[in-house]
Amino acid sequence: MTRSARIILCAAGLAGLVALLAWGVAGLEPFGHYPGPYGTVLNSVEPHERHAANVVSAVVFDYRGVDTLGEELILFGAVMGLAFLLRENREENTRGVRDRVPSEALRAVGLVAVPVVVLLALDLVAHGYLTPGGGFQGGVAAAAGLLLVYLAGDWRAMRHAGPLPVVDAAEAAGASGFLIVGFATLIASGAFLENLLPLGTFGKLTSGGTIPVANWCAGLEVSAAFVLIFLEFLEEIMAEREAK
Amino acid sequence: MIGAQISALALVAAFALAVVLVHDVLRSAVLYGIYGLMLVVLFVVFQAPDVALSQLVVSTVAFPVIIVTALAKVARRERRRR
């Protein structure tokens, strides 16, 4: 295809895209005035029904818990696939590979940041159903905290902080914990993630019934999944490094 | 408030363009981190703190790290082949 033909094709496609986009944006409701009733209904109903201060968490871990289960299993499957492929094909072992931190500043900042980020992550999970946050956000933040161990110390320190067997077990425990809570409530009451536990007082850590349980399971699963991704990728790089 | 919204949208657009237009993949990955941070600002300005928190760690830490480690692996393999 010649250059001018490509430009014409691209221009035609872009013009169509811009026209469709402008049409769509012009038809949008003004900001903050969306027409769907779902959010409005939940905002008024959720505080009495579930006692969780963060309605988003109540949607994610209760009303739409099945969606979250699907998302969790996608992540679980993706990470399992990654571990399976990389562990199977890894030729070199990584014994004796050196991995020094080149910068003292990086080491200092990293060491200060590790406890801060990990504490923040735990706080995000623990208060996920009271304030913005939750199992997913806190889980990824915790994994980022462990990644900082690699930046500040070395890869071996990170592997020491999160040994692969422990991470594997945590990943499985988080994913199966969510499933167990879901199916236990399904058997007991006939609906997946039906909230059976005492709901507690609105705004307290003990509120929300099964929401905190599902929330912590998700936090464990997500943090282990991301730590596993980081560990496997770093292991790959270190294996290459020795071969050099 | 409208001013904050417009500037957040403009920053996201600017960094999104930068991610695409930069030719070096490594630079693109680092720019993607900054672009993700701008998206976080956008979500905060538009009052979606839950989404902002997920975006914060996924797009500024997890995704760039995965890209950079993959690049490191590919670059070593290319060098060895030569």
Q: Domains of chain B: which residue ranges?
A: 2-81
**Residue A38 counted as domain residue:** no
Say how far residue A10 (Cα) sits from the centre of its chain. Answer: 37
Residue with tokens 């035609």: A12
Tens digit of pLDDT for each residue in B29-45?
999 999 999 999 999 99
Indicate the pTM of the whole model: 0.84
The share of chain B scoring above pLDDT 90, in percent, equals 45
Cβ pair A141:B73 closer than 8 A: no
Lowest-confidence pick of A84-98, A162-176, A203-217, A225-239: A84-98
The share of chain A scoring above pLDDT 70, in percent, equals 94
Distance (Å) of CA A56 to CA A120, A125, A132, B9, B54:
19, 13, 8, 24, 13
Residue B27 predicted with pLDDT over 70: yes
Q: In b/e form, how buried is each residue of A76-110, taking b as 16+ CB within 10 angstroms?
A: beebbebbeebeeeeeeebeebebeeeeeeebeeb
The pLDDT mean for chain A works out to 86
The share of chain A scoring above pLDDT 90, in percent, equals 35
Domain of residue A112, residue span: 53-243
CA dihedral B6, B11, B14, B19 (to 10 degrees): -140
Q: How confident is the model at residue A242 (pLDDT cuts 50, 70, 90)?
A: low
**Residue A133 counted as domain residue:** yes
**Residue A35 counted as domain residue:** no
CA angle, residues B12, B13, B15, in degrees to nearest 5: 65
**Residue A61 counted as domain residue:** yes
Q: Per the structure block, which two tokens stand in for B82?
A: 């030569």
Tens digit of pLDDT for each residue in B8-22?
999 999 999 999 999
HSE, side-chain direction, 13 A CA sphere, residue A92:
14
Residue with tokens 């417009």: B6
Distance (Å) of CA B70 to CA A50, A229, A233, A236:
44, 11, 7, 9
Q: Per the structure block, which two tokens stand in for A173?
A: 């425990």
Residue B42 distance to chain A (closest CA, Å): 14
Q: What secondary structure, in 3-state letters, does chain A show?
A: CCHHHHHHHHHHHHHHHHHHHHHHHHCCCCCCCCCCCHHHHHHHHHHHHCCCCCHHHHHHHHHCHHHHHHHHHHHHHHHHHHHHHHHHHCCCCCCCCCCCCCCHHHHHHHHHHHHHHHHHHHHHHHCCCCCCCCHHHHHHHHHHHHHHHHHHCCHHHHHHHCCHHHHHHHHHHHHHHHHHHHHHHHHHHCCCCCCCCCCCCCCCCCCCCCHHHHHHHHHHHHHHHHHHHHHHHHHHHHHHHHHC
Q: Which residue of A226, A227, A235, A238 is the best one to mutate when testing the B interface, meaning the one whose CB has the most B CBs within 10 A? A: A226
Name residues whose C-beta falls within 8 Å of residue B64's C-beta, 6 or more positions apart in sequence.
Answer: B29, B30, B32, B33, B36
Cβ pair A147:B61 closer than 8 A: yes
> What's the pLDDT score for residue A105?
86
**Residue A5 counted as domain residue:** no
> What's the pLDDT score for residue A80?
92
Q: How confident is the model at residue B72 (pLDDT cuts 50, 70, 90)?
A: confident
Cβ pair A236:B69 closer than 8 A: yes
Specify the amino acid at residue A242.
E
Tens digit of pLDDT for each residue in A4-30?
999 999 999 999 999 999 999 998 888
Residue A244 predicted with pLDDT over 60: no
Residue with tokens 């200060």: A112
> What's the pLDDT score for residue A177?
92
Q: Which residue of B55, B57, B78 is the best one to mutate when testing the A interface, meaning the one whose CB has the most A CBs within 10 A? A: B57
Residue B56 distance to chain A (closest CA, Å): 9
Residue A243 predicted with pLDDT over 70: no
Contacts of B52 in chain A (CB under 8 A): 132
Tens digit of pLDDT for each residue in A24-36?
999 888 877 777 8
Query: How many domains, in total, are found in chain A?
Result: 1
Rounded to an integer, what distance in angstroms lies between the CA atom of residue A179 and that of residue A185? 10
Residue A239 predicted with pLDDT over 80: no
Q: Which residue of A137, A146, A230, A244 is the best one to mutate when testing the B interface, meaning the one whose CB has the most B CBs within 10 A? A: A137
Contacts of B65 in chain A (CB under 8 A): 147, 230, 233
Tens digit of pLDDT for each residue in A115-130?
999 999 999 999 988 8
Tens digit of pLDDT for each residue in A35-76?
788 888 888 888 888 888 888 888 888 888 889 999 999 999
Rounded to an integer, what distance in angstroms lies between the CA atom of residue A236 and that of residue B69? 9
Nearest CA in chain A to B50: A132
Supply φ then ψ for residue A123, to 5 degrees. -65, -40
> What's the pLDDT score for residue A161?
85
